[in-house]
Structures are given as structure tokens and as C-alpha cells.
Amino acid sequence: VLAQQQPAAFTPPEDIDSRKANIISEGTRMSAELFVLKSAAGKKLPTVIMCHGWGGTAAGLRTVALDFARAGYFVVAFDYRGWGASDSRIILTRPAPAERPNNRFTAEVQEVREVVDPLDMTTDLLNAIHWVQGEPQADTSRIGLWGSSYSGGHVVYAAARDRRVKATVSQVPALDSRIRLADDPNPNRAFEEGTKRARGEIGYPPPRAKVVGNLSGGPVWEKLRLYAPVEDADKAPHCAMLFITAGKEELFDNADHAGKAYARAKGPKKLVEIKGITHYGIYREARVEATNLAIEWFDQHLKK
């Protein structure tokens, strides 16, 4: 039902061309929204791919996407598989029939929807980078990635694995899920749930389960223990990395995340602290400042 719901109505400003597109990630359709200035029609432009964090959707990125488009970028925002307007991964609810002509059969399936699996999410981002190579207006020699909160780590992960990424912006980023597991009252949770899932004893969390504080989206714990893009920052010397932190960050210690990633990065890099704000202040009182920092960074490394 959630997959079939229409996203919130959106009418782009008069100066912006906006359209929807489909990106196929591991055989599943992801929904994307594209933004570009009408005055730039027909021109190849440096490109910014945006991805949302824990529990977010691409619809929530539109304001910043419009700012990037007005700054002269071709902008792509997308929903991960199982989130927002994207389709979901599906699993069989019963064994497949023995006879499967042409590898096709009718089945009852269950969606894996609105769970947090960082390895799936980063795979989706890498596939979005593949997809944009075929866009006529995208200058594929000048690709930047923008991520916020949990996706602030995703963009570092992707840059370390795709040399086509020339610049990243990570705002209030979480870059090491192992720390969250180390603080868990049950330190063996990831192994225990991974074993039960592998043996078919448990399924995936229900959609938008609130397991970690007030965050929407139950984590796949065995995947979180494998996710530490803080260790990938030095694997992308070709990429310029900007890290923007909140001076009063309350969800994690900046030193363990942006601080370590910045220290390890080998390419052009910058670490900026916006003083006086908490984690979610980056979307409220500091949104304009953070967006301007991102535009300046992309301008420096994707336009010159």
C-alpha cells in the first residue's frame, strides 16, 4: 500500500524544469526527481546527486535541490528501494514451484519496506551514479554527491568505490555504525539477529519501526556492523570532501565521525563546524548557511 501511494503534490517554481525518472537498482525501480534551470536547457551541467538519511525521503530534499539547481547544477534526488515513491525489494512467502518455464512463475511475495540497511542504500547510490551517465544534461566528468546525517556517510562510501565522483558534501554525518552497536545493551544483537534471519526464524523489521530513539526505520543490525565509511575516506584521493558538523551535536560524537574521516581523507578536504546548532538545526536555522557552504564547495571543485 505504501509503495503505491502518491508522493506529496509538488509544483516546481517557474524558473525550474522538474521531472520524474526511474532508476533500476538490483532489478528494483527507484523513484528519482530531476531539477535544472529552464535557462540551462540543452546545456551539459555539473551534476549533484542527493540522497536522504535515516527515515527520510527525496521529497524532503526539494528545497535544497532547488537551491543547487539555481546555482547551475543538474540535480538528481532519489528514494532508496523501499522508501518514499520507490518500489521495494520483495521476498517469497512460500517456496517457488518446481516448474518455472522461462524462469517465470506466479508467487505471493512480501515487501521489505522502510527498513535501514546501509549496504543496500549505498548500493542504490552507486546505481544512481551509473544511471546518471546516460542523462544528456549531466556532465559526467563533474559529479558531486550530497548526503545528510546517515547518508553523509553513504557519499563517502560511494566516492571510495567510484572514481567518477569528484566532490562530496557530508552534513552532520554519521560515518561509523559500529559505535552504535558498541553502545547497545545487547552487544551480540547483530550476530543473533543475523543468524535468525539466515535460518528463516525472523523476517525484517516492520515498516518505519522506531527501534533507535525516535528515528523511523528499523535497522538490519547485521548490516550495520559492516558499515564504517569513516575508514573509506582515504580511499578516494580523487575526491574533494567537505564535512559540516553541528556544534551541539547530540546524537553522536563528531570526533568519532566527521573528525576521523576528515583526518583520513587524502584529497582536497575541509571541515566546518556550525556553532550553536544541534543535529536537526542543519535543516532549520542553519539550512541556508549549510547549503551555501555546499554550493561554494561544489563550485570550487566541479566548476573550475
pLDDT exceeds 70 at position 4 = no
Dihedral sign of CA atoms 139, 144, 146, 147 in order: positive
Residues composing the chain: 304
Q: What is the pLDDT of residues 227-261, one digit of tens each?
A: 999 999 999 999 999 999 999 999 999 999 999 99
Helix axes 287-298, 62-70, angle to 10 degrees: 40
What does the mean pLDDT of the chain come to? Answer: 95
pLDDT at 62: 97
Q: Report percent pLDDT > 70 for the chain.
A: 97
Q: Once rounded to an integer, what is the mean pLDDT over residues 152-156?
A: 98
Give the pLDDT score at 213. 84
Pick the more confident residue, 151 or 304. 151
**pLDDT per residue as tens digits for the range 71-98:** 999 999 999 999 999 999 999 999 999 9
CA-to-CA distance for 64 and 282, rounded, in angstroms? 12
Residue-wise pLDDT tens digits, 163-202: 999 999 999 999 999 998 888 888 899 999 999 999 999 9
DSSP bridge partners of 36: 17
